Amino acid sequence: MKALVYQGPGKKALETRPMPAIAAPTDAIVKISKTTICGTDLHILKGDVPTCAPGRILGHEGVGVVHEIGAGVTAFEPGDHVLISCISACGTCEPCRKGMYSHCTTGGWILGNTIDGTQAEYVRIPHANTSLYRIPEGAKEDALVMLSDILPTGFECGVLNGKVQPGCTVAIVGAGPIGLAALLTAQFYSPAQIIMIDMDDNRLETALRFGATSVINSSRQNPKDVVMQLTGGQGVDTAIEAVGVPATFELCEDLVAAGGTIANIGVHGVKVDLHLERLWSHNITITTRLVDTVTTPMLLKTVQAGKVDPLRLITHRFKLDDILQAYETFGHAAQTQALKVLIEAS
């Protein structure tokens, strides 16, 4: 089969690989129909993710059809149309029992990291009973690819952890796919204001179309001044960090109102200053989270019901044969205006 293989920092290739085989009774083999590329795949290619070794097939998002099941798989049969979660979960270990699938002792984020991933014609999914979701009849398959990772990430790490409520004020720093997913799902709760901050005008325009009430280009305007103006000098109830660099987390420390929450989503590679000399008396909460994908069934229903349309995040489409071009397009988002690129594998 064809697969996109990480060959060490800065190197990747479309290779011919053997078909994956069932390795444990709880495994399923899924024939991929659509997959996509995540910012995290770019982190891996930069050499930022040491757990991902050269030779690994990348990708942790996708939809497909069950091709083969192990003897212990009871929830699915060959031919079933399924959504693949970026998090594999056994459902029975202590973290899984707490609903913290991301910390499953034999799963978590392993796909396209410590085991071969979804940017291929076929993929082996461990703990298939609890890591795949049945796609309802007539569902828009392309939209559901956004449910493997980015929609649950924006929703769980940003909106739920950030305690977004009716009438509250929200600032989202970073208008990439994750920040935009937080923007889309924050609207389930009717906040009074959602202020989007980025340095890319095209992404900010997209944010306005997706329901942001104000946008701030932080390369031209001082985001703290504008947010204080917009909130009567209070700051925001929820500041969502969706970039993953010190400057944007520190900006959230400046934007959060007394009693508010900073919900961090970004993957941070270096330390960040926490200004307790100012914040100690501010009654704030800071949350961090690796996406658990516990809200996937609920998000599936909202997509089915048309309450949220993740299809709007897809800007480009490619065949698996052209995946190197898809990486080029996704990797140069400022020039290509790419958000999510959809890759058709079959």
Ligand X SMILES: NC(=O)c1ccc[n+]([C@@H]2O[C@H](COP(=O)([O-])OP(=O)(O)OC[C@H]3O[C@@H](n4cnc5c(N)ncnc54)[C@H](O)[C@@H]3O)[C@@H](O)[C@H]2O)c1
| Interface ranges with ligand X (CB under 6 A) | 39-40, 43, 149, 153, 157, 173-179, 197-200, 203, 218, 242-245, 247-248, 265-267, 289-291
Please say whether the beta carbons of 126 and 111 come within 8 A: no
Total residues binding Zn ion (CB under 5 A): 7
Please report how close the Cβ of residue 223 comes to Zn ion at its closest, in angstroms: 26
Please report how close the Cβ of residue 165 comes to ligand X at its closest, in angstroms: 22
Please say whether the beta carbons of 33 and 63 come within 8 A: yes
Please report how close the Cβ of residue 294 comes to ligand X at its closest, in angstroms: 12
Please say whether the beta carbons of 121 and 16 come within 8 A: no
Please report how close the Cβ of residue 35 comes to Zn ion at its closest, in angstroms: 11
* Nearer to Zn ion among residue 49 and residue 255 (C-beta): 49
Distance CA 208, CA 215 (A): 7
| Site mask for Zn ion (CB under 5 A), range 93-112, x = bound | x--x-------x--------
Determine if 40 is a binding residue for Zn ion (CB under 5 A). yes
Please say whether the beta carbons of 275 and 247 come within 8 A: no
Helix (H) or strand (E) holding 260: strand 256-264
Of 122-181, which residues contact Zn ion (CB under 5 A)? 149
* Nearer to Zn ion among residue 110 and residue 320 (C-beta): 110
Which two tokens mark 119?
């940017």
Interstrand relation of 12-16 and 285-287 (parallel, antiparallel or unpaired):
unpaired
Measured from the Cβ of residue 192, the count of other Cβ atoms closer than 10 Å reads 13
From 40, 35, 296, select the one nearest 151 (Cα to Cα).
296
Please report how close the Cβ of residue 149 comes to Zn ion at its closest, in angstroms: 4
Binding segment (CB under 5 A) for Zn ion, from list 33-41, 43-51, 216-224, 230-238? 33-41
Please report how close the Cβ of residue 18 comes to ligand X at its closest, in angstroms: 29
Which of Zn ion, ligand X, none sits in contact with 176, Cβ below 5 to 8 A by type?
A: ligand X
From 293, 292, 286, select the one nearest 263 (Cα to Cα).
286
- CB-neighbour burial class of residue 113 (10 A; exposed 0-12, middle 13-18, buried 19+): buried
Distances from the Cα of 76 to the Cαs of 87, 89, 195, 312, in angstroms? 18, 15, 42, 30
Which two tokens mark 104?
């499953």
Determine if 84 is a binding residue for Zn ion (CB under 5 A). no
Please report how close the Cβ of residue 115 comes to Zn ion at its closest, in angstroms: 15
* Nearer to ligand X among residue 69 and residue 341 (C-beta): 341
Which of Zn ion, ligand X, none sits in contact with 93, Cβ below 5 to 8 A by type?
A: Zn ion
Which of ligand X, Zn ion, none sits in contact with 290, Cβ below 5 to 8 A by type?
A: ligand X
Distance from the Cα of residue 255 to its chain's centroid:
24
Which of Zn ion, ligand X, none sits in contact with 218, Cβ below 5 to 8 A by type?
A: ligand X
Residues of this chain that bind Zn ion (CB under 5 A): 38, 40, 90, 93, 96, 104, 149
